[in-house]
Amino acid sequence: MANPLRPAILAAARSPRMKSAITHAPGTRSLVTRFVAGEDRGAALTVARALLASGRSISLDHLGEDTADLGQARATVAEYRALLRELGDLPQARAGEPRPLEVSVKLSALGQALPADGEAIALEHARVLCAAAEAAGVWVTVDAEDHTTTDSTLSIVTTLRADFPWLGAVLQAYLRRTEADCRDLAGPGSRIRLCKGAYREPGSVAYQSAGDVDASYRRCLAILMAGQGYPMVASHDPAMVAAAGDEAVRAGRGPDAFEHQMLYGIREGEQQRLADAGAGMRVYVPYGSQWYAYFMRRLAERPANLAFFVRQLVSR
Ligand code: FAD
């Protein structure tokens, strides 16, 4: 069921007043731990090791976005470099297999929105991360943010792919442009994560009904599966998980030629079921103290998540 409060919750995700109220509400933190591995790298690595031991792959995300200060962007790069050094000690893939270790990064956390030269700064910061990831045997995927950043983000990814052909990009099925982007980006070696999209977008650029978004997701999935890249199917929706399996069979793809992705704390049983059945299953594991916007997007996705949150607050 679509969440009728989604627009209001996504608006609150951008509101400093709501941020302060919700962050300091009693009990919020214990709920946040349902979706966030912890506030520091050590906690994230503990979760990562357990997931790897269970047969799942990981993508670690250091939470933070919309950085308005160069020092903060540099601190984010330093945190990712430290993370990549530690990830380099974890088990690696055999040659030719999908890498079990990945980091996800938001370009807005690397300075993309800085007033002077933001795009160039984010590009150089992302290049530093890709070089560190290459040395550690880790993949990188660049998250998709709101539609005002899509052109800039895809242009940065395209530039970096000349040196780091394994660099992944994310496409959001709710955007009307995405079917065309899938056609452009389904070339050899291209790693594309397809998700529905988590931001509040106007009807001029994005489908508004769940039915239209799902139909777009299916069309995009068919394009990516029929293409020559490596599709990463990021959805908890049983219908999309099944559609991915069907499209993979139609395209003659084996289990190593695409993967499923889900978020930490969501449909844990289904994650394990897919991994046990031999499918590629990667879990996106966010960590860090800047969890507010990420947490609000998870609340916006499902009435049940919001109801759980409200019940916990009022029962205190
Ligand atoms: P929904 O449409 O939210 O849910 C459909 C159905 O799935 C539900 O009706 C229910 O049957 C089932 N379901 C969903 N949640 C649950 C649950 N908790 N328990 C049981 N059943 C459930 N968005 C971006 O905009 N940019 C990104 O870079 C990005 N990266 C992502 C990376 C990963 C790995 C994933 C999984 C998602 C990412 N997203 C990103 C978020 C994504 O865009 C969606 O907002 C989010 O995944 C919800 O859409 P959905 O496809 O999972 O299904």
Q: For residue 221, what is the domain's CATH number? A: 3.20.20.220
Rounded to whole angstroms, the Cα distance separating 249 from 254 reads 8
Which residues, judged by CB distance below 6 Å to any ligand atom, belong to the binding site of ligand 1? 143-144, 170, 172, 195-199, 234-238, 240, 261-263, 266-267, 284, 301-302
Rounded to whole angstroms, the Cα distance separating 39 from 63 reads 9
**How does pLDDT run across 215-263, given as a tens digit for each residue?**
999 999 999 999 999 999 999 999 999 999 999 999 999 999 999 999 9
Q: What is the 34 CA–ligand 1 centroid distance (Å)? A: 15
Question: 41, 161, 191, 193: which is the annotated catalytic residue?
Answer: 193
Tell me the whole-structure pTM to 2 decimals. Answer: 0.94
CA dist 27 → 20, 63, 197 (Å)? 14, 20, 28
3 domain-assigned: no
Query: Within a 10 A sphere around the Cβ of 25, how many other Cβ atoms?
Result: 14
Residue nearest to atom 7 of ligand 1 (CA): 237
Provide the pLDDT for residue 314.
Answer: 62
Provide the pLDDT for residue 24.
Answer: 79
Q: Per DSSP, which regions of 119-190 are E strands?
A: 139-142, 168-172
Ligand 1 binding pocket mutation candidate from 60, 107, 196, 305 (most atoms within 8 A of CB): 196
Ligand 1 binding pocket mutation candidate from 235, 274, 306 (most atoms within 8 A of CB): 235
Which amino acid, one-letter code, is at 269? G
**How does pLDDT run across 32-62, given as a tens digit for each residue?**
888 999 999 999 999 999 999 999 999 999 9
316 domain-assigned: no
Is 193 annotated in the active site?
A: yes
60 domain-assigned: yes
Provide the pLDDT for residue 315.
Answer: 60
Strand partners, 193: 170, 232
Which parts of the chain register pLDDT below 70? 1-2, 303, 311-316
268 domain-assigned: yes
Task: Give residue 117's domain range.
Answer: 36-86+97-290
Rounded to whole angstroms, the Cα distance separating 144 from 170 reads 5
Count of the separate structural domains present in the chain: 1
Q: DSSP letters along 50-103, please?
A: HHHHTT-EEEEEE-------HHHHHHHHHHHHHHHHHHTTS--PPTTSPPSEEE
Q: What is the ipTM of this complex?
A: 0.97
Q: What is the 89 CA–ligand 1 centroid distance (Å)? A: 30
Provide the pLDDT for residue 152.
Answer: 98
Q: What is the 11 CA–ligand 1 centroid distance (Å)? A: 18
169 domain-assigned: yes
According to DSSP, residue 229 is labeled: S
Token pair recorded at residue 55: 């047969």
CA dist 197 → 175, 207, 300 (Å)? 8, 10, 12
Q: What is the 162 CA–ligand 1 centroid distance (Å)? A: 31
